[in-house]
Amino acid sequence: MRAVILCAGEGTRMRPLTYSQAKHLIPIANKPVIDLILQAVKDAGIREIGIVVSPGARAGFKSYLQDGSRNDLELSYIVQQKPKGLAHAVQCAQGFVGSEPFLLYLGDNLLENGVRGLVEQFQQGDSHASISLVEVDNPRSFGVAWLEEDEIKKVVEKPDNPLTNLAVIGTYVFDHHIFAAIEKIGPSKRGELEITDAIQQLIDDGYRVVPHRVTGWWKDVGTPADMIDANQLLLDAMIPETRIKDGTNLEVKGKKGQNENAKVRDSRLIAPVMLGKDVVIESSVIGPYVSIGDGVIIRNSRIENSIILERAVIMGARSIDRSLIGRYAEVKSMGDSSSRFLLGDHSQALI
């Protein structure tokens, strides 16, 4: 089986960070989202993966992931020329997929237990599609499914009056009939070819579509707040791989996950905290739930629940909470107040 990962979204809710890189390349717990997804796909036994990207993002993906061989994967890049919807993106991947069943993975979905269960369920069953479902409190924000016995009979994209609280999440397995279904649908109210409409078409054409109940947490990381929440979930789950070697007056509480090249002086780390390479932390209190990228410098600051991307510099910030700070960004503070930031790459905040 091959997999198609959809990464062509513009990431408008993540601006300004997405002006300089695709949201799928932004790290959570120091790993770009796309790496977390590729690992999950590989864990499901799939090595041939097509990544659907926008024309402007192709170079960034390719220079980071290359052909995938260093992770024992075979990656292909498929360009979706215009953002015409998820079903349109799937159509763009038809040549790559061929006539075999395939895993479709929306590139902003993270699942605690990956997609192995979904793939195995499809392989062992006799359906034309398996659709992952999660019970949610806010079904109006998602595609919503209605079941009859062990089959999905209705799916509606972001309904005003949801029939159930079962959200269709971003992982599916389809056989080739989905392509004929996509041919038959037209654009939705938001002007896109919706994957939910294609699934409904599949059902209306008499094909068997079954639910796959997801276990463990699931997170759609479309906004900075989602990223910060996912950072917490991942740091909680992370097994410490490395340890700090150089640190004076260093106190590490609870779980640890530090890189050995980090230099921590006169500081307190409250775990879980993830430090990249060559991080310098002085006279600061960091954590819990902070991921810090390579080469970040932090002095005289207090940071919790945040993602600090590579080579950012933070000086004198008395309290930073639930923030996402871009690459090479600088925060210099003279004040005492607490702050919340969403700073794009190379930006400066002097407060």
Which chain residues interact with ligand G1P by CB under 6 A?
86, 106, 109, 142-143, 157, 167-170, 194-196, 220, 222
Smallest separation (angstroms) from ligand G1P to the CB of 221: 9
**For residues 109 and 267, which CB has a smaller minimum distance to ligand G1P in the complex?**
109
Kindly list the distances between the CA atom of residue 61 and the CA atoms of 17, 56, 343, in Å, as whole numbers in the listed order: 16, 10, 22
Kindly list the distances between the CA atom of residue 213 and the CA atoms of 60, 62, 166, 210, 218, in Å, as whole numbers in the listed order: 34, 33, 9, 10, 11
In the complex, residue closest to ligand G1P by CB: 143
Smallest separation (angstroms) from ligand G1P to the CB of 144: 8
**For residues 200 and 284, which CB has a smaller minimum distance to ligand G1P in the complex?**
200
- Secondary structure (DSSP) of 21-88: S-GGGSEETTEEHHHHHHHHHHHTT--EEEEEE-TTTHHHHHHHHTTSGGGT-EEEEEE-SS---HHH
**For residues 65 and 221, which CB has a smaller minimum distance to ligand G1P in the complex?**
221
Kindly list the distances between the CA atom of residue 332 and the CA atoms of 94, 137, 320, 350, in Å, as whole numbers in the listed order: 50, 40, 12, 5
**For residues 52 and 296, which CB has a smaller minimum distance to ligand G1P in the complex?**
52
User: Which is nearest to 285 in space by CA: 274, 298, 295?
Assistant: 298
Rounded Cα gap, residues 232 and 273, in angstroms: 10
Rounded Cα gap, residues 65 and 55, in angstroms: 16
Residue 271 CB partners (closer than 8 Å, separation 6+): 252, 253, 254, 255, 256, 257, 287, 288
Smallest separation (angstroms) from ligand G1P to the CB of 37: 13
**For residues 129 and 280, which CB has a smaller minimum distance to ligand G1P in the complex?**
129
**For residues 108 and 345, which CB has a smaller minimum distance to ligand G1P in the complex?**
108
Residue 181 exposed, middle or buried by CB count within 10 Å (0-12, 13-18, 19+): buried
**For residues 3 and 274, which CB has a smaller minimum distance to ligand G1P in the complex?**
3
Smallest separation (angstroms) from ligand G1P to the CB of 242: 33
Smallest separation (angstroms) from ligand G1P to the CB of 167: 5
Task: Compute the chain's Rg from CA coordinates.
Answer: 22
Smallest separation (angstroms) from ligand G1P to the CB of 118: 14
Tokens representing 173 are: 């397995």
**For residues 170 and 272, which CB has a smaller minimum distance to ligand G1P in the complex?**
170
Task: Tell me phi and psi for residue 99, to 5 degrees.
Answer: -105, 5
**For residues 85 and 293, which CB has a smaller minimum distance to ligand G1P in the complex?**
85
The answer to whether the CB of 310 falls within 8 A of the CB of 327 is: yes
Smallest separation (angstroms) from ligand G1P to the CB of 205: 19
Look at the alpha carbons of 39, 66, 34, 129 in this order and tell me if their dihedral is positive or negative. Answer: negative
The answer to whether the CB of 94 falls within 8 A of the CB of 78 is: no
Smallest separation (angstroms) from ligand G1P to the CB of 86: 6
Smallest separation (angstroms) from ligand G1P to the CB of 301: 34
